[in-house]
Structure 1
Amino acid sequence: MRPAAAAEDPKLTGSQHDQRVTKRERVLTLLSRPEGASIAEMMQATNWRQHSVRGFLAGTVKKRLGFVLTSSIAAGDVRRYHIKARRGR
């Protein structure tokens, strides 16, 4: 057996590996929608707890990736988060 073959995930073929979507990509997709996303929607998409979602928003989305993260709350609705274009660096 080749060493490289042992390192590959046997469950994923070439096309499946290319189509794998990370939790980070899921959250960024939700935040990019015109209506944005609530904490509950992000928790459901990633199976993270609330504090993990908030930490991801502050640490990764804002600081590491440099997106402008905004939040809004409509009357009788939950707080929704949305990302805008990246900040200039």
Structure 2
Amino acid sequence: MTKQNPTKLDQLEKMILRKNGASIAEMMKATGWKQHSVRGALAGALKKRGLTIISQKLDGTRRYSVEKSA
């Protein structure tokens, strides 16, 4: 049995789970998607996976990450 390659949604999820999250530009580069597609994935498919996505502006760049549960 061969290991399946991660989907682009899996890649986005992994990126926003990082300590510093990810910017739209980083996610666009990783997936090859346009800005509206990345935003749509954040607002739709990743939220449906049960993730609470937050955005913060750090050093002039908006970064997206997953809200840590208390």
Q: TM-score range by the shorter chain?
A: 0.7 to 0.9
Unpaired runs of at least 5, structure 2: none
Structure 1 counterpart of 2:35: 50
Partner of 1:80: 63
CA offsets 1:22-47 (integer angstroms, 9 cap, x no match): 10110000000000000001101110
How high is the TM-score relative to the length of structure 2? 0.86
Identity %: 43
Over alpha carbons, which structure has the higher Rg? Answer: 1
Runs of 4+ in 1 over 2 A off after TM superposition: none
Q: What root-mean-square deviation, in Å, do the aligned CA atoms of Structure 1 and Structure 2 show?
A: 1.6
Normalising by structure 1, report the TM-score. 0.69
Larger RCO (CA within 8 A; separation ≥ 6): 2
Hey, which of these two has a bigger chunk of helix by percent?
A: 1
- CA offsets 1:14-67 (integer angstroms, 9 cap, x no match): 43xx141210110000000000000001101110000000001001112x1121
Any stretches of 5+ residues in structure 1 without a counterpart?
A: 1-13
